[in-house]
Amino acid sequence: MGLRPDALPDFPWDTLTPFRATASAHPDGLVDLSVGTPVDPTPVVVQDALADAANAPGYPTTHGSLDLREAVVAWFERRRGVPALDPRDVLPTIGSKEFVALAPALLGLGEGDVVVHPRVAYPTYDAGARLSGATPLPADDVEQWRDNPRVRLVWVNSPSNPTGQVASAGELARIVAAARELGALVISDECYAELAWDEPYASAGVPSILDPAVTGGSTDGVIAAYSLSKQSNLAGYRAAFAAGDGAAIARLLEVRKHAGFMMPTPVQAAMIAALHDDAHVAAQRDVYASRRTVLAHALTTAGFRIDGSHAGLYLWASRGETWERTVAFFAALGILVAPGGFYGDAGRNHVRVALTATDERVAAAAHRLVNHR
């Protein structure tokens, strides 16, 4: 195992600087729909729990408190249809991005190993593979890697960032079965699971990789990663967790102990409160649903096609041109969006439009799109 920062590409967001300058010059101000960072208040129930736990003079444990891990187990059963997880097989993480970036290295992957991730995907899957010295393999079809003995880790992202696509239980089961044949680990990034818009997922829920219908009742070789940043407006808390395969969690825990990856005690208390309270999640979902309706109407009126986008905090939009032309179009209207090309070559003709702006800014963006000439 060895971290290889020299293997990383240039940070893609830096290329948005000139577009941001153009958009910021709009007379009515910038509408930033490029980054999915929450803008609504952190729920009071969570703030209160954080404050009540503020007197925390001692070190927390890397494994987190039993109360936190039991809250995660209860949440999985209540919200995701995953029964009987063992609290020992739950690991708090300091946000989900650090987990995604470091998991390959912490699991001992390196030169000669292959890390599979979706073709259009959150860039950190690729970056994490490169940091460990492994080789990233963008692939959507199991047949592209099922016979490759070098595959050690397979990333799943459902609902997808940026496309909003949702994998069915059957699709997930096929991935898990193929990975198990190779002895590879599957990690599913499920951070947007509580934000499903289209059926059947809006009613039945988004399938988890840990669902018995996917795993056959065993979590061997399977881990789910989740974050409270989106559902609970806790991005600033760095509150996330992973759960599943006991041996892999134990390996991650052992290395993280040596590295000092400890979630602060007050944040753990805040997570417990958030995991036990479904009301604030439903309320926030309604807020995003309203913004999504406004932006979707404006985009289609302006000639855009919305693909996927069945769940999550983004609209995956295209009008059949390169992202450079589309981002420039939005920038001229004072709107900043994320280029699809940041998420892989297969996304070059799309842009990602975030729902994470205030109602007033979303309304401003919609007005500009509908009335542009």
Q: What is the pLDDT of residues 264-305, one digit of tens each?
A: 999 999 999 999 999 999 999 999 999 999 999 999 999 999
* 83, 116: one domain: yes
Q: Which residues contact 34 (CB under 8 A, 6 or more apart)?
A: 16, 336, 337, 338, 352, 354
* Mean of per-residue pLDDT scores for the chain: 95
Q: Most distant CA pair in the chain: distance in Å?
A: 61
pTM, full prediction: 0.93
Confidence of residue 8 (pLDDT cuts 50, 70, 90): low
Q: Please determine, for residue 181, whether its predicted confidence score (pLDDT) is greater than 60.
A: yes
Domain of residue 286, CATH code: 3.90.1150.10
Q: Please determine, for residue 10, whether its predicted confidence score (pLDDT) is greater than 70.
A: no
* 86, 190: one domain: yes
Share of the chain above pLDDT 90, in %: 94
Q: What is the pLDDT of residues 124-150, one digit of tens each?
A: 999 999 999 999 999 999 999 999 999
- List the domain range (segments joined by +) for residue 264: 44-277
* 73, 140: one domain: yes
- Domains: count for the chain: 2
* 181, 89: one domain: yes
Q: Which of 254, 277, 300 is the last residue of a domain?
A: 277
Q: Using alpha carbons, list the distances in angstroms from residue 281 to 14, 42, 195, 221, 234.
A: 33, 11, 9, 30, 12
Confidence of residue 4 (pLDDT cuts 50, 70, 90): low
* 68, 179: one domain: yes
* 66, 185: one domain: yes
Sole residue written with tokens 């690729």: 126
Q: Which region holds residue 309: left if phi is over 0, alpha if psi is between -120 and 50, else beta?
A: left
**Cβ atoms 172, 130 nearer than 8 A:** no
Tokens representing 95 are 């946000």
Q: Which of 258, 277, 296 is the last residue of a domain?
A: 277
Q: What's the mean pLDDT in 304-310?
A: 97
